Amino acid sequence: MVVSSVLLVEQNLLIAFSITKTHKSNIRIGLGTGQRYCRQRAIVLMESIIKLEDVSTVYEGERRPAIRDINLTLERNELVYVVGPNAAGKTTLLETINGLLPLFRGKISVLGLDVQTQGRLVRCEIGYVPQDFMVEPGEPYTALDVVLMGRYGRIGTLNRPEEKDREKAVETVRLLGIEELADRPMGKLSGGQQQKVMLARAIAKNPKILLLDEPFSNLDPESKERIPSLITRLHEAHELTTIIVTHDIHNILKECRRAIVMVNGRILVDESPENVCAAVNKSATFSSEGIA
């Protein structure tokens, strides 16, 4: 009963939202006991999952914006690759979406929420693998502890993880094929091993959005084939909206997804999957000309 009514509502919403917001209110009123669930779903269906409007970000103490006039919309279940030369602003873009940097100008909404005022809520739904993560050699946490930390956004830092959280962490470790690392201290792992643990941590969170900043850069050739395919499968199975920053154009051509080229803090190319080759070629041109 409940499922079918939700489905019906979803169909209505899809039509209604393309018309006016008033329709959204009307539909909410009509939802009855399922109202709360449907309102959450409604946000997801109504809004683009990630929407940046004329966004510029300036680092503290700097005068020049690191990213400028960014307009970018990602719908649910889109996978986008971001490429571009060093210092193009790729990491800054991800950190801005993640609400880790204050905006200089513009507006960002993620899952229908204002990132500037509701950043913590937004980050609960984002699995983020940063480009640079410092792990001290004496770090006492095991790899499994680190994966389990991915669950803390959901359970709250003051609460203890439950059995289901541990199960999810163990399941994700298996998925990544890093069982033999589970009990080893994070600080004693190699760079590639740490990268796999950080990916597992992001996935164990059960996020709605994945933001991955050069997540495969330290992997060996076997893992460079296996893990990107795994991410694509997870993205498809769980309808994850995914942004992957990479310098590895091989993956982009293989996956044939939307590709964005950033240069000098701006998005210069935003190509559909059909034109992904064009994006890659333009990216290569920008890099060889040293435009950054």
Residues 128-147 that bind ligand ATP (CB under 6 A): 131
Q: Which of 48, 56, 91, 283 binds ligand ATP (CB under 6 A)?
A: 91
Residue 241's closest CA among 96, 73, 53, 49?
49
The distance of closest approach from Cβ of residue 288 to ligand ATP in the complex, given in angstroms and rounded to an integer, is 15
Nearest approach, Cβ of residue 287 and ligand ATP (Å): 10
Stretch of residues binding ligand ATP (CB under 6 A), selected from 26-34, 48-56, 90-98, 186-194: 90-98
Residue 218 lies near Mg ion (rule: CB under 5 A): no
Q: Is 216 helix (H, G, I), strand (E, B) or coil?
A: coil
Taking alpha carbons only, the member of 127, 125, 93 closest to residue 262 is 93
Q: Is 131 in the site for Mg ion (CB under 5 A)?
A: yes
- Is residue 63 involved in binding ligand ATP (CB under 6 A)? no
Judged on CB neighbours under 10 Å (0-12, 13-18, 19+), 199 is: buried
Identify which range of 24-32, 59-67, 121-129, 229-237 contacts ligand ATP by CB under 6 A: 59-67
Q: Which is nearer to ligand ATP, 92 or 242 (CB)?
A: 92
Nearer to Mg ion, 12 or 131 (CB): 131
Q: How far is the CB of 283 from ligand ATP (least distance, A)?
A: 12
Task: State yes or no: residue 122 binds ligand ATP (CB under 6 A).
Answer: no
CB 218 within 8 A of CB 227: no
Residue 17 binds to ligand ATP (criterion: CB under 6 A): no
Per CB under 5 A, which of residues 34..93 are in contact with Mg ion?
90-91
Residue 162 binding ligand ATP, by CB under 6 A: no
Residues that bind ligand ATP (CB under 6 A): 59, 62, 66, 84, 86-92, 131
Residues that bind Mg ion (CB under 5 A): 90-91, 131
